[in-house]
Chains A and B, each alone.
Chain A
Amino acid sequence: MASQLIGAVIAIVLGIGFSLFYFAGTNWALDHWLGDRTDAAGEKISKAHRRESIRPWLFIAPALLILGVYLVYPVVETLRLSFFDDTGQGFVGLANYIWAFQDGEFLLAIRNNLLWLIIVPSASTGLGLLIATLADRVPWGTVAKSLIFMPMAISFVGASVIWKFVYDYRGPDAEQIGILNAIVVSLGGDPVHWISLPFWNNFFLMVILIWIQTPFAMVIFSAALRGVPMDTIEAARIDGARPVQIFFKVVLPQIMSTVVVVWTTITIIVLKIFDIVLAMTNGQWNTEVLANLMYDWMFRGGGDFGRGSTIAIVIMVAVIPIMIWNIRRFQKEEGMR
C-alpha cells in the first residue's frame, strides 16, 4: 500500500519531469541547432524563420500524439471492428448491424435511451432555469444554490446508493426505511418495489440523473441571467408586464443560446449514461440502455468486440450532429474574434 502511494508520487514527478524535460530539451535543441551563430544577415533570417516554423509542432506534438492514440485511432478502429466478428478477425459485413436491429434487448435499449433523451435534458434544463430564476430574487439565493449544487460533486455510483436508499422496499407488514415508501404508506397506500416496476422504473432511474444534472444547468443559467441587461427588464416592467411575461418574453429570448448549450451538454451525458443503470439494475426489469449493453457485450461470453463496437457506433452516430454543430459554433465565434 505504501509502495503504491510512493509509486503514484514517482509517477507524478516522472510525468512532470519528463514533460518539462521534453519541452525544455526540444526547445533548447531547436535554439541550439538553428541558432543565430552566423554573420550573414540573410542566413540569420532564414534560420529564424525555419526555427519558428518548427517550434509550434514541438509545443503540440505530445498532445497530438496522445489524442491520436486515445481518441482518433479508436474512433477509426471501432468503426472497422463493427464490421468484424467477435474476435475482430473475420469480416462479417453488416451482420452486426442487422443483428442489432433485430435484437430485442438492443431495441429495448434504444427505446429507453430515447425516453432518457426526451426527459432528462428537458427536466434538468427546466428545473435548473427555475431554480436559477428563483434564487436570483431572494436574499438567501446563494445558500440555496450552494446546497442544490452539492450532487454535482457526487459520483453516479454514490448517487445510486443514495437513491436506492430512497427507493428501498420492505414487505407491507414491515416498517419502511425508504422515505418514498414511507410517504406512500403514511398516505394509506401499499409499499411499491419501485426499481422492478416495469416501464416506470426507467423514470425512477432518470430522477437520479436529473438530480445530478439540474445543479449544472442551474449554475450555467445563473451566470447567463446575470448577463441579461437590467434596463431591458426595467423597460418591460414600466410597460406593465407581469413577472411571468417578463421571464418568457424578455429574459428567455436573451439566454436562448445558453439554453441550447446546456441542453446539448446534458444530451451527450444522457447518451452515455452507464453507471446509474449498472449500479441500480444492471439492465434488469427492462431498464437496459445502450452504454450498459455495450459494456455487457465487451465481456459477455469472453467478449464480442464486433457487437460491442456496433453499439458504440450507434451512440457515436447520435452524437455526430451535436459535434458538427459545436464545431460550426466554434468557427463562428472565431470569425467574430
Chain B
Amino acid sequence: MKLAGRYVTGGQVAGQVLLLLLVVIWTLPTVGLLVSSLRDKDQLIASGWWSALSSTEIANQGRTGTADDQVETADGYQIAGNLLPEDSPAEIGFWSDNINDITAYEAGQSAPVDDTGAMTVNADGSYSWVSPEPFTLERGERVFYQAFVPPIFTLDNYREVLAAEGIGRAFINTATVAIPATIIPILIAAFCAYAFTWMSFPGRNWLFAIVVGLLVVPLQMSLIPLLRLYNDVGATFGVEAKSYLGIWLAHTGFGLPLAIYLLRNYIGSLPRDLIESAKVDGATHFHIFTRLVMPLSVPALASFAIFQFLWVWNDLLVALVFLSKREDQIVLTSQLRELLGSRGDNWEILTSGAFISMIVPLLVFFALQRYFVRGLTAGSVKG
C-alpha cells in the first residue's frame, strides 16, 4: 500500500512539472512579444527579450573632429569631444580604430592612432587625441567601440505605431466593423430561435437541420458569389461595393447559424411550464418572447455576443474581401499583415502593433471568461 501511495505522489509531482512546462510554453511567446514592445528599439534588435533586464552590448562607431577642431596645448595639439550620441546612457567598454579588432583597447586606455599621436577614449564616450605635431586630417577619424547600454523601457514604440503606422486608425475601423456586426444578428437570431423552439409550423425540423448544416459551411464558399453580388449592387445603384454596411451584413449572415443554434439550445432548456402557463394567461408568442424569454436568455445572448465579437475583431479574410485597404476602411488584422510584409524586420513596430490588436480581445476575454467558456462548450461547431 505504501508503495502504491508513493507511486501516486511521484506521478503527481511529475504531472505538476509537466503542467508547469506546458504553461510556460503557452505563455512565453506572448510574454516575449509584450516585453519586446516595451523595449528601446535599438536594444530590441541587439539582444533577445529574455535579457531585457541586463545591459545590452552594442557595437557602433563614432567620428572624431577634424584638424579644424584642434587646439594648441602646452604639450602640442589636441582634438577632444564625445563619440556617443548626445544623452546616450551607454558606457563604452572597448574601443579601436580598426573595425576588424573592435575590442583592441579598454576604455580609459591610451593608444597610438593613425601614426599621429595617442588617443584616449573614456567610458563616458569622451575622447582626447593628442599629438606633438599639428593635425592635418580633413575628415574625422573613425573610432569603433563596444558599449554597454543599461536596459531602457519606453512607450515610444506604441506612440510611433499608433500615429505613424496607421494602427490607431485601424483600431477605430475594427471597432466600427465589430460592434454593429455583433449586435445586429442577436435580435434576428433570437426571434428565429424562439420560433424554432416553441412554435409549430410545417417544415420546422428540416429548416433547423439546414441551419445545423450551415454551421459548418466554409466561409470560402460564400466569398466569390458575394463579391460579385456586391459589385453588381454597387454598379447598379452607383454606390461603393466595399462598405461598412456590406461587411456588417456579411458578418451577420456568417454568424447567424451559430447564434440560432446556441440560442435555440438555451431557449429549449427553459422550463416548459413557464411558457405554457403564460399562454394559458392569454399572452401571445410575441409577448412571451419579449417579456419572458428574452430577459431569461441574457446569459446565452452574452455568450454569443462575446463569441461573435472576438470572431469579428480577429477576422482577416472577410475584411480583406469586403473592405478596401484604404486608410478609412483597413482593419487591424489587415494593417498588421501589411506591416508584416513591408516592415518585416522592424520588430518595434510589429510587436507593439500586434499587442494593440490583442488588447481588446484579451480584456473582453478575461473580464467575461465565464460566458465565453459557456458559449464554447455549448456550440463548438462554428463554420
Contacts and interface: CB of A to CB of B under 8 A. Distances in A.
From A4, A57, A214, A309, residue with most partner B Cβ within 10 Å: A4
Contacts of A313: 221
B29 A70 contact: no
B53 to A, nearest CB: 15
Given A151-B26, A220-B377, A12 B180 contact: yes
Nearest to A135: B19
Interface string B345-376: 00100110110011001101100010001001
A326 interface: yes
Interface stretch (B43-51, B72-80, B84-92, B140-148): B43-51
Given A175-B47, A275-B316, A147 B224 contact: no
Contact of B176 (A7, A23, A141, A177): A7
Contacts of A197: none
Given A63-B189, A70-B249, A179-B50, A216 B220 contact: no
Interface residues of A, number: 115
Nearest to A59: B195
A147 B30 CA distance: 11
Contact of B316 (A127, A156, A168): A156
Interface stretch (B120-128, B130-138, B204-212): B204-212
B316 A291 contact: no
Contact of B27 (A147, A274, A278): A147
A95 interface: no
Contact of A309 (B32, B224, B310): B224
Interface in B231-264: 244-245, 248-250, 252-254, 256-257, 260
B218 A319 contact: yes
A160 to B, nearest CB: 7
A67 B256 contact: yes
Interface of B: 7-8, 11-12, 15-16, 18-20, 22-23, 26-30, 32-33, 36, 44-50, 169, 172-173, 175-176, 179-180, 183-184, 187-189, 191-192, 194-196, 199-201, 204-205, 207, 209-229, 244-245, 248-250, 252-254, 256-257, 260, 268, 284-286, 289, 310, 313-317, 320-321, 328, 332-333, 336-337, 340, 347, 350-351, 353-354, 357-358, 361-362, 364-365, 369, 373, 376-377, 380-383
27 contacts: A23-B191, A27-B286, A55-B199, A55-B285, A56-B204, A63-B256, A66-B253, A67-B253, A74-B221, A134-B15, A147-B23, A148-B27, A149-B369, A157-B336, A164-B350, A175-B48, A179-B28, A182-B50, A220-B377, A220-B380, A223-B377, A268-B218, A272-B219, A279-B316, A298-B223, A312-B218, A323-B217
Given A70-B250, A144-B19, A150-B362, 4 more contacts: A182-B48, A182-B50, A298-B223, A330-B209
